[in-house]
Every structure is written in structure tokens, then in C-alpha cells.
Amino acid sequence: MRTFDELVAEAEAADVTGWGFGWLQGRAVEERPPWGFARLLAERLATVDRALDLNTGGGEVVDEAPALPATMVITESWPPNVERARETLGPRGVRVVQTTDGAPLPFPDRSFDLVTARHPVRPDWPEIHRVLRPNGLYLAQHVGPASAFELIEHLLGPLPEQRRGRDPRREASDAEAAGLTVETLRTARCRMEFHDIGAVVWILRKCVWWVPDFGVDRYERQLRELDAGMRAGRPFVAHSTRHLIAARR
């Protein structure tokens, strides 16, 4: 295995835009939820006329769908991802809209048959309800509570309050309070393994909300502890949590 400094330098120089995770191939693995969100999304997109995908990243998941609706709109707030989404999906006739987190969606009431999201920043249930047509569906895979917290807390220490966030039952209750009817709520806890310190540094650069003040110099001690374990043949194990939610207007 290459040195700590070599692996870190490579990870710091690597591209982290979009929502592709191919850079981790051979260096980290993550079990996937059993429902297959990309497949579910593709199936639904093939059946509607107007669809909206929220917090799309670089548009990678939408681009997996073989058929898209006549009107397909995606939103993203981070400018590098907006540009990547335009490059990826613009040729397929998709409208890419740059939005601001926490602001109302820039669309008229009852605009879409289907609203989707894979790992949205924070679901705005009243806005989702507003832009759905009657009988329209919200279909999404959300990040669940304490996801990847083995890694996050290795750097930051115990976070008991944050562990209670993103509760799927609370999110379902909030969706119902906004006027939606929750039809499906499924949860999954998925094993993650990191095999070298470059993979850890790269994921922390990509998922900036995990450790908001992350920097190699700031967390060098903790990173070197992880590196020592992986060099001894022990992958670092964490668990992602996900929930699938389908809610109808």
C-alpha cells in the first residue's frame, strides 16, 4: 500500500463533483438498499408526462433512466453540480434549474405528476405538496438517522443529538401534515467498508455535511489512526441508513 501522504494527496486532488462514486471502486464498498431506487425511478419516469427531480447532484441517477417524460425538470443548488447536470442531461432535453436551499420551488402550483429525490438535503413537504398535481406521487430515497456515524464520530466525538435527526417516522408524519398520504415507508441499514485512507478523505470531501470543517491537517491524528488499522488488514466499517418513501397528493 502507498504511504499515507501519497494516498491523501491523490484523494485531495480528485474530482468530487456530481453524485458518481466510481472513484471509490476497489477502495471502498457499500451495500445497497434492497429496493433498487434507480430502477424504481426509471419505472416511474416512463409512466408520466411531467416530472421533477430535486437535489439531483450531477444528474447521474436520472440519466440511468432509459426513457424520460416529455417534460423533465431537475434542480440543484451547488454550481459545479449544476454545470455537470447540464452537460449530462441537457442533450436529453432536460431542463436544469439552479435553486437555493430553503427557498420555495420556482414552479407553479400543480406542475408535476411525479416529484422524486435521491438523498435530498431536506424535504420541504409543503412545497412538494404544492407542485404535485392531484394524485401525483413523491418518490424518494432519503438518508436515515445516524448514517455513517461510525466515521463521523471517529473524527468529531459523540453526537447524541444529531443521531436523532432524519427519523423516517417523523418525516412520514411531516409529509402527512402537509397534506400527502404516505403509501410506502421502508428502511435499510447498509454496511460500508473503507480499505484505504484515500477513500476516507475523498468521501469526506464529497459529503461535506458529514464533517463540515473537515481538513486533513485538522483531523490528521484521527486519520492516521484509521490508516494504521487499514494497513493492518482491518477495513474501517460504518453503516449507512436509508429509507424509501412514497407519498401521494
Q: What would the pLDDT profile of 233-243 be if each residue is shown by its tens digit?
A: 999 999 999 99
Q: Confidence band (pLDDT; 50, 70, 90) for 50?
A: very high
* Residue-averaged pLDDT of the chain: 96
Q: What would the pLDDT profile of 117-128 be if each residue is shown by its tens digit?
A: 999 988 999 999
DSSP letter at 187? E
Q: Which three cell numbers stand for residue 19?
A: 453524485
Best CA proximity match to 53, nearest among 24, 23, 19: 19
Q: What is the pTM of this model?
A: 0.87
Q: What is the mean pLDDT of residues 192-200?
A: 97
Domain ranges of the chain: 4-248
Top-level CATH class of 4-248?
Answer: alpha beta
With contact defined as beta carbons under 8 Å apart, do 70 and 49 qualify?
yes
C-alpha distances in angstroms, 111 versus 107, 131, 135?
7, 5, 12
